[in-house]
Structure 1
């Protein structure tokens, strides 16, 4: 009787450890997440597979309750509720697709991998093990992604020890030769430490301070200066005139986060501003579900949330190059970056406003995920975050 309970308990505790370590915010530890498909496949019942899935996902996303509590200035309960609800899709997919038939199990896991990478389930497809592809196959591009996918399915087969040994060898080899993605030539990302005031206090003095920051970085030789998500606040003709007027005497282009407001809600965007004027550079494809994107408003007839453009503008032109922008939440899920890579951009631009994540590893996970994807496809990377 003790043995009947010991094995499931060990699997659940192991899944929690794998989720916590693999998603601790270090690129080199992302391959630890590959232990999840193995634990899922050796579960002997659907219930154990569900509990293993829950342990992994909840551990990987453990920073969410505290982050939500900070964002809404509330107690921990709303964050805990969102945390549990977000895990529901991951657990449901992996428990429904689990099977006792070992011959079918690899195909089932492959299906689960695909489902959790694309909408609608991919909307909460955090902690996807395929993200580790960049840590195991840097520079391999789509071939690396296919090999990673095959490796995940292989871990759900009877020959998993051989597959695990091969993947571990690749992991160690990659770790020895690892280098971080380089910056695009002429580009600089600016990290800010303005806390919750960024984007909320967007008065004249704040705008002047940001412009001075851009000019200072441009004075060091950068032609394109990237500021974090929400840096400018609301994008209006008045704000545009202010920025263009000051940048008119130089060659610098500022890329900054802003919100474009209308009667139906708002778009979370990046704007590009230079001496010739300002324009919407990018519209976020997937805002944060719940706090920003609120699809239930369509049913109630209300408005005010951020719009999700899903598959719009995966690559945008800037100067003589083409960039793949990712704003905040898009760095935690799979399909936005893969959609962008289908268009072979020249580099990746990743921005975020993570003041609410203090005390959690959320920003570190965003950086690690984006770095892994950039390395997989051998793309330069520019990052700008506010804390």
Structure 2
């Protein structure tokens, strides 16, 4: 009898270790556990705390545990909606509307993630399931699906493997895939061990020597107030920031409003007697719409430094206007200017939305930048953790590739 008991125990342990679900759990309870787990992972992993990002790496395991395509869809929806939970409030703030419009866009934005992961799910364990998750992860990292590829678990690579660069990215990608196989406990232990070690030794990305980012609390008037008084206020802020010896000052997205010859001349005069260079967000009006850019200004003049590759869909980027032969909306450069040069450094710029998705930063890293500059205008994110998530994502990528990071964000002043 003892031999029989030990044999049954060995089989149960083997099943728990190598299987992806316990057949003794009823289907309904199994679904509830998986969906609830996905929601918890989405909330905690994308809370805005950079050290919590590795929790997102458990999503592939929950997806693989699903016993049906419908369950996989609900697990994917729970994770994505929880991770992007700030969107309804942000949309309501942006459009000064009620939450219903935000809820609608929130649901629509999740469809690509949910449909893709549901379509690629398979009830065949092993290599087939691992390859299908790998395909889903790749597709959610690059256009067109990658355009709404928020909350990608690969973002946690910089927390688990800081300083490893491409090897760390590869190790994290391999870990995510293994999490969908019967070897998921080993992957979880290894990834968890590296995570704990990294958390114990964690340091924030360095600030490049001579550089400083300036956060503002100008709310929605930043970029909309085009008065001379606004430009003078920004100039005074910049001059105050230079007292600590910075030669390069980064201002948030949209800081200068419209980039015009008048604005350029004003700033050129303001900086004429200094060696200072200001990098600031602005908008360049074109015949068919506008470009969201970063400009570099010094006493010698100004130039457009960077054209945003992926503006915020719907609120900024509206490709359907061109399809209907209408003008308007921000232009999307997609794969343009991944790195720019300034002051003898190769810079990987990331404006706002680009910090939430994968391909812009990966494309920039392929070109060997010396630093990352992340700017944003998040006045509309008041009451959400969106800016904290952007900053955490930028910090994770900077730590993965061991690069200095400069950030500059505009928010709504607290009342």
Structure-2 residue corresponding to 1:165: 189
Query: 1:264-292, CA deviations, whole angstroms, 9 ceiling, x for partnerless residues?
Result: 10000000000100000100000000000
Q: CA deviation at 1:345?
A: 0.4
Say whether 1:276 aligns with 2:300.
yes
Structure-2 residue corresponding to 1:320: 344
Say whether 1:85 aligns with 2:108.
yes
Q: CA deviation at 1:35?
A: 1.3
Say whether 1:49 aligns with 2:64.
no
Q: CA deviation at 1:351?
A: 0.3
Query: 1:333-366, CA deviations, whole angstroms, 9 ceiling, x for partnerless residues?
Result: 0000000000010000000000000110000000
Say whether 1:201 aligns with 2:201.
no
Structure-1 residue corresponding to 2:250: 226
Q: CA deviation at 1:18?
A: 0.4
Q: 2: CA distance between counterparts of 1:297 and 1:310?
A: 17
Q: CA deviation at 1:2?
A: 8.9
Structure ID, larger Rg: 2
Q: 2: CA distance between counterparts of 1:324 and 1:183?
A: 14
Structure-1 residue corresponding to 2:120: 97
Q: Considering only aligned residues, what root-mean-square deviation do their CA atoms show, in Å?
A: 0.9
Q: 2: CA distance between counterparts of 1:255 and 1:211?
A: 12
Query: 1:29-62, CA deviations, whole angstroms, 9 ceiling, x for partnerless residues?
Result: 0000011100000101000000000000000000
Task: Provide runs of 4+ in structure 1 moved above 3 Å.
Answer: none
Q: CA deviation at 1:144?
A: 0.2
Secondary structure of 1:188's match?
Answer: strand
Q: CA deviation at 1:202?
A: 2.1
Q: Is the Cα–Cα contact under 8 Å of residues 215 and 252 in structure 1 kept in the other structure?
A: no
Q: 2: CA distance between counterparts of 1:327 and 1:200?
A: 18
TM-score by length of structure 2 reads 0.92
1:182-193 correspondence runs (5 A): 182-193=206-217
**Can you give the 5+ residue segments of structure 1 that lack an aligned partner in the other structure?**
none
Query: 1:88-112, CA deviations, whole angstroms, 9 ceiling, x for partnerless residues?
Result: 0000110010001102101110111
Query: 1:80-135, CA deviations, whole angstroms, 9 ceiling, x for partnerless residues?
Result: 11100110000011001000110210111011110000000000000000000000
Residue of 373, 396, 406 corresponding to 1:372: 396
Query: 1:197-250, CA deviations, whole angstroms, 9 ceiling, x for partnerless residues?
Result: 111112101101111111221232000000000000000000100100110000
Q: 1: CA distance between counterparts of 2:193 and 2:95?
A: 44
Say whether 1:300 aligns with 2:317.
no
Q: 1: CA distance between counterparts of 2:228 and 2:183?
A: 64
Q: 2: CA distance between counterparts of 1:36 and 1:246?
A: 51
Secondary structure of 2:326's match?
Answer: coil
Residue of 5, 10, 19 corresponding to 2:42: 19
1:122-271 correspondence runs (5 A): 122-271=146-295
Q: 2: CA distance between counterparts of 1:263 and 1:298?
A: 12
Q: 1: CA distance between counterparts of 2:27 and 2:271?
A: 70
Q: Which moves more between the two structures, 194-203 or 120-129? A: 194-203
Q: CA deviation at 1:142?
A: 0.3
Residue of 95, 103, 126 corresponding to 1:72: 95
Q: 1: CA distance between counterparts of 2:344 and 2:58?
A: 42
